[in-house]
Structure 1
């Protein structure tokens, strides 16, 4: 899952001449010019980002930093266009972008994006703005966006440096790409396989936060290397990571390579764990883990971690998958819940159960998890405002859950979610 939230990487021109240390405040005139471009960005944003990517990918080094599967369906262009528009809307109130900046910095560290990469994307995007907007992209507007770009880029460059240094200092930590050996390969279902990764140097690994991911590089013969993000699906242990990967329906790309060609003893490269969809170190409220499909991977890490911590709060894991053929890690999760039955439950939905799938044995509920079902369930088990919810799954699942939970009055600060793929708007306008 390589989500590049590149609303940071906007615009060039003044940028190359500006200092790359502490950012200077944006000028009022620049803020006004950027605000004036909002209508054009709203109308032409996706065309701009599509043009930007076409320019950018002429550079093979930069193209290799991107998950190309996110380009084919247009979702990455849509995500970037929305992010640029959000930046323009909030250019005079950048404090609201703080969480997004932290998320972007973490992803850039994972993808090993370095300060020298910034100007390549900036040039491509500014050129795209000029191409698409034509005479409307005046020198003054381009200069304003150049100023805004380096303001945000400098913030990110500094934060990314801090994150890299912290990862390198920590026990088991490292910076850049580290070789890992596939120590085991475990078939979890017809379409999901787990890979146990141990460092090739025999040393310890950084203790990840439950919910984080690894960025890995795969090197199939005859094609450019592929970089992907995969969630770590085990509790932190200092010895190894477990990645649990679904074979994508397209049948090609990184997931197929892992399933079909990656074997025990093979080597891949990984950067340190990253991501902000994580459990806090101290959990004070009941935890509700809700997932669909391969969205269970961060939830398994969280559930195992809460059990290992002997955390006293109730933990309820609710998962949906089509049927027993696709159901991954079910036996292990049920066994975990049985060992901690005083405080942990697992509820499984099958949306398309097989004739041989026995309700009450293989699964608990037929159909899909809905926000309505969840709010009714919460009302019967836990006061609605007293739990922390963690959601992960495909776009349609998250959209429906977030919209429904919002309508039910569940506070936004109680809901944490992760989407596998480019981040676009998940809630109804």
Structure 2
């Protein structure tokens, strides 16, 4: 892009700040009308809630703001690229998205969409697509080089189902072809997809791998949402209705939220509800590592009934001096010998337990939960680079 074209793209920043979601809503509506097959690829729950439109609006705005140096967005691009790889996005699909995005800019801006502006945005999008395709090609290649690595969707069989709480089940997935599966870093996820009769098309979802790597299976732990007919609950309820022996499609592990297997830095793992799943993988992996890093486990949930992995984590706590746990229930009649505390996690009240030299802090849970814990850590003087978080669904938080 030349300087004039960059200036034209940057000039659209005020419009994107005020009307960005109007543009992205129009874009998705247009794309799904002309290319309905893409409904099999996109999480339509996030479409219904508006989260995906908001996330895309934020991404488009960030790209326009940094058009002179998009390299500063590399962490965000890496995260998006991992999601794309986990959905088996192809270069051809970038062409489809580009067509509808540029057409949407024309249609939404109307007379304000000059020929020069459309040309500038077309070049800008093509340059971004080129960056993303290159990033994703490297990710695909890296996975294919692994023992058991593969590209795209692969058929797995549900070998076992374990009830972890009143609303969470763990599914043990073994490859139908009985060939090796790729290893992963603790904290990463896989995508699974299943046909949704109510919608008439397939739906993919990302689920964190909830155990240390085992070469025989992948384990995901899924929370069943209460309303099975709402967009948020359709897939989780279908999964909870599945039986041992059923088949499901999955992609290879992916994701930038993970613990370092080599470092000896202490880990402070902070989770809310089903957000415990990627952190449990970190905890189990640490148990298997030779150095046995110091770990502080903090978990918050509504009550004992919904507390998944309670006995497992308690057993680890009782048998390993490198682990300290703090459990919080919102609803509890009385505190249980300090093993379970009433209320929600308040990091300020237990700062002596968590302020550890060289510690890395990992947070996972609902959006509001992450924000509260992140802000508390910042107030306690923890450096941004030592705080990592995973937000399930479209990335709406930009805390770092």
1:245 to 190, 199, 222: 222
Displacement of 1:125 in angstroms is: 1.6
Q: Tell me, yes or no, if the aligned pair for 1:226 and 1:254 is still in contact at 8 Å.
A: yes
Q: Tell me, yes or no, if the aligned pair for 2:194 and 2:202 is still in contact at 8 Å.
A: yes
Tell me what 2:195 maps to.
219
Is 1:318 aligned to residue 298 of structure 2?
A: yes
CA offsets, 1:106-140, max 9 Å, x none? 11110011000011111222222222211111111
Q: With structure 2 as the length reference, what TM-score do the two structures score?
A: 0.95
Q: Tell me, yes or no, if the aligned pair for 2:367 and 2:397 is still in contact at 8 Å.
A: no
Tell me what 1:32 maps to.
7
Displacement of 1:371 in angstroms is: 4.1
Does the residue aligned with 2:349 lie in a helix, a strand or coil? helix
| Distance in 1 between residues matched to 2:130 and 2:284, nearest whole Å | 38
Distance 1:204 1:35, change over 3 A: same
Is 1:403 aligned to residue 382 of structure 2?
A: no
Q: Which has the higher contact order (CA 8 A, sep 6+)?
A: 1
Q: Tell me, yes or no, if the aligned pair for 1:292 and 1:397 is still in contact at 8 Å.
A: yes
CA offsets, 1:368-408, max 9 Å, x none? 113433545424xx24xx21000000011011122222233
Q: Tell me, yes or no, if the aligned pair for 2:41 and 2:202 is still in contact at 8 Å.
A: no
Is the deviation greater in 419-428 or in 167-176?
419-428
| Distance in 2 between residues matched to 1:81 and 1:375, nearest whole Å | 37
Distance 1:190 1:93, change over 3 A: same
2:329 to 324, 341, 350: 350
| Distance in 1 between residues matched to 2:62 and 2:378, nearest whole Å | 21
Displacement of 1:204 in angstroms is: 1.6
| Distance in 2 between residues matched to 1:127 and 1:399, nearest whole Å | 36
Distance 1:376 1:358, change over 3 A: closer
CA offsets, 1:127-161, max 9 Å, x none? 22222211111111111111111111111112211
| Distance in 2 between residues matched to 1:388 and 1:401, nearest whole Å | 14
1:394 to 366, 379, 386: 366
| Distance in 2 between residues matched to 1:78 and 1:373, nearest whole Å | 35
Tell me what 1:283 maps to.
263
Q: Tell me, yes or no, if the aligned pair for 2:98 and 2:126 is still in contact at 8 Å.
A: no
Tell me what 2:243 maps to.
263
Does the residue aligned with 2:127 lie in a helix, a strand or coil? helix
Is the deviation greater in 244-253 or in 315-324?
244-253
Tell me what 1:88 maps to.
64
CA offsets, 1:333-371, max 9 Å, x none? 11122232x201221110122x4x75237x521111134
| Distance in 1 between residues matched to 2:104 and 2:196, nearest whole Å | 32
CA offsets, 1:227-275, max 9 Å, x none? 1101110101222100000011332410000012x11000001110000
What residue ranges of structure 2 are gaps of 5+ in the alignment?
none
Runs of 4+ in 1 over 6 A off after TM superposition: none
Tell me what 2:384 maps to.
412
1:53 to 20, 25, 28: 28
Does the residue aligned with 1:219 lie in a helix, a strand or coil? strand
Q: Tell me, yes or no, if the aligned pair for 2:335 and 2:342 is still in contact at 8 Å.
A: no
Q: How many residues align?
A: 394
Distance 1:401 1:159, change over 3 A: same
RMSD: 1.6
Tell me what 1:7 maps to.
none
Q: Tell me, yes or no, if the aligned pair for 1:395 and 1:426 is still in contact at 8 Å.
A: no
CA offsets, 1:140-197, max 9 Å, x none? 1111111111111111112211211221221111111110000001111111000000
| Distance in 2 between residues matched to 1:77 and 1:226, nearest whole Å | 18
Is the deviation greater in 368-377 or in 171-180?
368-377
Q: With structure 1 as the length reference, what TM-score do the two structures score?
A: 0.88
What residue ranges of structure 1 are gaps of 5+ in the alignment?
1-25
Does the residue aligned with 1:161 lie in a helix, a strand or coil? helix
1:150 to 116, 126, 140: 126
Distance 1:243 1:35, change over 3 A: same
Tell me what 1:174 maps to.
150
| Distance in 2 between residues matched to 1:308 and 1:76, nearest whole Å | 37
Tell me what 1:44 maps to.
19
Displacement of 1:292 in angstroms is: 0.1
